[in-house]
Structure 1
């Protein structure tokens, strides 16, 4: 069996993971909108959904790296899938107890599983084939994350936002008993989707248990020391950690608060605006496939610089613009966000050799930006009562990514010239 055939089925299986964690992440905007209405939450309180998810990345990334170093990629994937499924199942008692804190705890456990999966799958894809095509291969795998971003809002909108929720004033006007009954009914809507997803993840875990995955041994690179401190000494790893922190924060805020933007800036109902979440996911997916194709001809850092520049321009117009065009441009921004995560990741861990697994953990750890950036942006909205001003934070994120791309041309040049 040649090497390409040897890696084909493992590549397919690992790529499926990108779809599953993309699906769960892109249910979050629906969940935020739903829980914000059900529990009458402020913007900052609603953003705690993102905080619960992405704090897990900060806490679990290094333990995930240690698991991989000691036990390998397959064990990491199995542990991640187990926690993923458990977190999904915990949504049932969370809904039954109508506890927002319980929901946040369930999301945290679920996200601990996602952290381990991403720490394992992202670097595994980059070494599962020709090293010269690592960035292109990771962008292709991440395209299925984009497919999930298209489908999740449709599924979530159908099952979770089936009916327009009551306004905060309408909820407060209810009697105590009626209010509890209403919140119970609203929170119960999330049980079905998360139960089904948990069962699917368990099935995937069983398949992975019996599938033989090639364990890739990292190059010791002439006996050089490996570890987290060694990885941080590398310029591209440090830059990748910083750029990924701000990218994930920007992505999470744009996707998670898209429906809130439509409601507060344009006065749209959830029924009217949920289609835009699906369109945003579709553009995100298309952007990844287009980016994977363009990387055959354009150096990844140049493409990353162009995409981040275009995203910055669109967000600038969103801040100062008015009318429904601002929503269209906000949705269009997702096309240019599409290649950022995998390209930053691949450039960040390139040429790390024995430091690949700790470097991967550190860059995954920086996903905690998804917990911090939305909180800062939401605080600006609550203070100014003007949601468009919060996107100054997102503009700063894209400028930082642009600087990372411009400062890492040599990494991209290696990928391009050897492809």
Structure 2
């Protein structure tokens, strides 16, 4: 292992801190680009691989379940090699996952696609376990939500571009007619058409693999400093003197559940909005922009957070406002209906409540992380891995939604958002304050 200089955040100059934040911002852009492509992959594979709603949401399941499986091994890797080399290995694993799409497309094998997605998710689990605590402790804790909001803008900006660029590469203007003709085609013609459709992913994912490999090398040779999270202040050391397990921090464990429900509710909005629009008769070629609308609303929330936190509002109060807004918009999806025309689209008003969820979702992640990591000291890396495990909510919650979308309908299935935002409100109000389990 190549030796890396370990820094304390207090010793970093302002210039070094700014450069480090810029490098991590690039990483978050990549996270977003690779992650939010799933929004277009779900309906795309549903057609190309002839899937049900439930089966199509296995895209999200395979991608995000890796966070549950790999987060603890990722924390052990980081303790051994440090943040910097850990990020490099994460990019290399992601590059391998993207490359798996090539044989998957050549054989039109959905299971192989899911294997590739799981591998990409594994690499992201390593990267997220490193990058999120890194940006949280890279400066004053009271400004952590502000820094995370900047990362969120990079992440969601990539998310706006990813579905649009990916759709531009793999979809054709004539595909709407093709999708209508598929049911009436002979088996041989249908197989040939679907093979051609799914093989369009080969070139973009081969290019993504090369880019990810290059980014891993860039991080390895960058000036990104290694940060020491094992050193504790005297106050934290005294508070943690009797702690032997990460399970002894209730605010962290409850925070991991909050992350689970937050990311699950966020991905439900983004990854289901195309399908919900389709249930209203809006074509895939038109509906492809709705995930970008949600992410644009999220970026607006991040900008508000950057401007107002902590100057005018504490990050915990921003978290409380966002959780209650999310609860209100979720009720709006279920309770309000009627045709409206916005941004050139004629649709039910409930679709725009789904889009509006992007705004309150913006500052929930940024609010939970600093609250959950406060006071962990030498347990920070393991604590971060526990929080990253919560990202498996992205895997499980869309399947819950998909089940009810098949059993009921797309709109009624959004009831699953209500308990999510209800718990998030509980954590924002009370759960983050718990430092010991009651006896």
Q: How far off its partner does 1:167 sit?
A: 7.5
In 2: Cα distance, 1:109 partner to 1:209 partner: 21
Kindly provide the CA deviation profile for residues 320-375 of structure 1, in whole angstroms up to 9, marking residues without a partner as x: 22242111121111111111122212211122111111110001001111111111
SS in 2 for 1:213: coil
* Alignment partner of 1:349 out of 373, 387, 392: 373
Gaps of 5+ in 2: 1-10, 340-346, 435-439
**Further displaced range: 26-35 or 314-323:** 314-323
Q: How far off its partner does 1:169 sit?
A: 7.1
User: Contact 1:23 / 1:152 at 8 angstroms: preserved in 2?
Assistant: yes
Gaps of 5+ in 1: 412-419
Residues 8 and 278 of structure 1: CA distance in aligned 2, closer, same or farther (over 3 Å): same
Kindly provide the CA deviation profile for residues 16-70 of structure 1, in whole angstroms up to 9, marking residues without a partner as x: 1111111111110100011111122111101100110111000000001111112
1:247 aligns with 2:262: yes
Q: What is aligned with 1:263? A: 278
* Alignment partner of 1:330 out of 354, 360, 379: 354
SS in 2 for 1:338: helix
Residues 233 and 36 of structure 1: CA distance in aligned 2, closer, same or farther (over 3 Å): same
In 2: Cα distance, 1:281 partner to 1:382 partner: 26
Q: How far off its partner does 1:232 sit?
A: 2.3
In 1: Cα distance, 2:223 partner to 2:20 partner: 8
Q: How far off its partner does 1:397 sit?
A: 0.8
Q: How far off its partner does 1:115 sit?
A: 0.6
Alignment of 1:351-370 (within 5 A): 351-370=375-394
User: Contact 1:37 / 1:165 at 8 angstroms: preserved in 2?
Assistant: no
In 2: Cα distance, 1:62 partner to 1:409 partner: 22
In 1: Cα distance, 2:149 partner to 2:195 partner: 41
User: Contact 1:252 / 1:374 at 8 angstroms: preserved in 2?
Assistant: yes
1:7 aligns with 2:21: no
Kindly provide the CA deviation profile for residues 128-171 of structure 1, in whole angstroms up to 9, marking residues without a partner as x: 22333222212222221111121112212212333435677742
Residues 79 and 225 of structure 1: CA distance in aligned 2, closer, same or farther (over 3 Å): farther
In 2: Cα distance, 1:363 partner to 1:327 partner: 31
Q: What is aligned with 2:324? A: 309
Alignment of 1:227-238 (within 5 A): 230-238=245-253
Q: Structure 1 length normalisation: TM-score?
A: 0.92
Residues 409 and 84 of structure 1: CA distance in aligned 2, closer, same or farther (over 3 Å): closer
